Chain A
């Protein structure tokens, strides 16, 4: 009886809350989904385009040649993201804007969701504490996972799974295209492995700390700098390089992009080989796969 009274009171309260008119009336809403998939960088856009083919347009969210990891969406971009069918993310904290925008989680494809165990934590930045919540730190993960083809293949598979879920009628075609893409990535993996063996014994220098997964995947440990290809490093940085190289005469400097003539000359003067291995995350005229093939060609050339 007590329960019944409680239920009656609930009903009275809810009758008051629910009813606002003589009849239930809803406006028709049009689905905001646009026929577009947005991938947050070039490798993911390449994988998605290869897998989706002409099913749907695959675009990057930005037009200029900028670092996708530094891109921040403006209001128009967010609305476009909200309207996209899928948003292909790199995960690993790559898109720092993700925590600040309102997007439906069902549309978000974290391509590194199955690579969590392989993610490389960056050194802890500052730890601080204030207020009742105590100590907390702002740290993250290295994110250029696509430079280890084993991880890249899992990213491609995650995209394939998401596409099959979104376009179940095209499952067979998507699976066929997945096989082709995975074969491409396997070929790149084999080529990088072959070249990694030839790089054994060399001291490697990296212009930027973006090769963590490349180093991990192909056992190519080295020293990372923070050098820009179009900005001459100061003398202290050159001295650091010389000091690190002193005991390792057989060395190779790996650049993200072609360094300018002055830097190249200085390296030449130091008798230090350099090679460009582009992670190729940015928008470019060439697609990501072609960039990787060019990376391999350049590595072969420098090793020969």
Chain B
């Protein structure tokens, strides 16, 4: 038997290029549909898990898909806003705890999420280092953001301006990193969490500036008419909230009219969820309530349909590849006709000749199956990370 293997090995060594091409083609064709299936299923699982943990989202009228995905992943550009007063309405309904979200701003592409401590409790996010946000200007970083920006507790993160051409706009806010979250293996790892009021400061709805009612500010005063002081643009507005200037920070206008992107209602029970849904469905137009799992499932249904088309396409390519491989093997066998004749003349049995010919096919299929299995395992473990790296870099 060893003589058969010896001859086969020599054959493979001599025809390694041809066999490598064949192995590569078969490996790819067998791996691709399974990889596609695996990635889509993993993504679907994670999307569904995130959506199921946030069954309802309330936001301004607009695309339910963008509202859901924005609230779950903080990636929507300039989301529609609704007034903060809506939060109190949800809480007053008695059906749910209401968590505000304002995810309009970012720092170097990482979303800044204005919310309150209830969000961290709701998502079961744990502090790895430092502490929770306590005062205006504090920031807690998701694990990935901290790693990517190489920031630790005590460092600073600066909000990015919405437009580089907005010279007269609000100054970026320098926020102190007071905590780093443990990895949650979710989009929260890629977010910067601040108090909702801090996002309003970023927007310029609240600010701190030098005292105008003292002698030191005389140079900045353009006009003083009774209680009315008109100052020029050189008034020193603070771009960082510190213990020294925190008292000077203040908000103007009605707190209830300040913007938020969305509200996550956390219903107390199933009945409360149904009642809250009913209440808001009656008010569609002013605000909208969306069922995240339904929205995500609709998205996934479409994705699964398209995936099926792609899998069918890959299967057809696979069939074509199999036919080509068969043709290659067939031609190979024809080319080896002289070899078979010689083997028969020197006394090789029919079984030995058959095995010698078969080993070429078997070894190609076996090696392809081996590499394909390795690739599938790698896809299950690292496929989405690689996709992430590929798409985000």
Contact = CB atoms under 8 A, between A and B. Distances in A.
A142 to B, nearest CB: 18
A2 to B, nearest CB: 12
A138 B212 CA distance: 12
Interface string A14-36: 11111111111111110110000
A102 B87 contact: no
A136 interface: yes
Contacts of B190: 17
A32 B121 CA distance: 8
Contacts of A14: 43, 47, 69, 73, 75
Contact of B134 (A101, A130, A132): A101
B384 interface: yes
A103 B197 CA distance: 10
Contacts of B186: 18, 20, 24, 26
Interface in A169-212: none
A128 B303 contact: no
A127 B116 contact: no
A12 B300 CA distance: 11
Q: How large is the interface on B (under 10, 10 to 19, 20 to 34, 35 or more residues)?
A: 35 or more
Interface string B204-242: 101001001100000010000001111111010100000
Contacts of B183: 20-21
B74 to A, nearest CB: 9
Contacts of B42: 15, 19, 22
A23 B124 CA distance: 16
Interface stretch (B13-21, B94-102, B153-161): B94-102
A19 B138 CA distance: 27
A10 interface: yes
Contacts of B126: 27, 29
Contacts of B246: 100
Interface residues of A, number: 54
A180 B383 CA distance: 66
Nearest to B131: A79
Contacts of B69: 10, 14
Contact of A105 (B88, B133, B212): B88
B125 interface: yes
B236 to A, nearest CB: 10
Contacts of B116: 102-105
Instruction: Determine which residue in B195, B246, B300, B384 has the highest number of CB atoms from chain A within 10 A of its CB, and name it.
Output: B384
B330 interface: no
B283 interface: no
A27 B250 CA distance: 36
A150 interface: no
B39 interface: yes
B306 A4 contact: yes
A181 B39 CA distance: 63
Contact of B231 (A11, A12, A130): A130
B230 A102 contact: no
B391 A102 contact: no
Nearest to B49: A24
10 contacts: A4-B306, A18-B384, A31-B121, A100-B247, A100-B249, A126-B227, A126-B228, A130-B212, A130-B235, A133-B252
Given A106-B91, A128-B212, 15 more contacts: A7-B302, A8-B303, A10-B69, A11-B300, A15-B388, A19-B388, A25-B184, A27-B182, A29-B125, A102-B135, A102-B195, A103-B116, A105-B88, A127-B229, A165-B94
Interface of B: 39, 42-43, 45-47, 49-50, 65, 69, 73, 75, 87-88, 91, 94, 97-98, 100, 116-118, 120-121, 123-126, 131-136, 138, 144, 168, 182-187, 189-190, 195, 197, 204, 206, 209, 212-213, 220, 227-233, 235, 237, 246-247, 249-253, 299-300, 302-303, 305-306, 380-381, 384-385, 387-388, 390-392
Interface of A: 3-4, 7-8, 10-29, 31-32, 72, 75, 78-79, 82, 99-106, 124-133, 135-138, 165
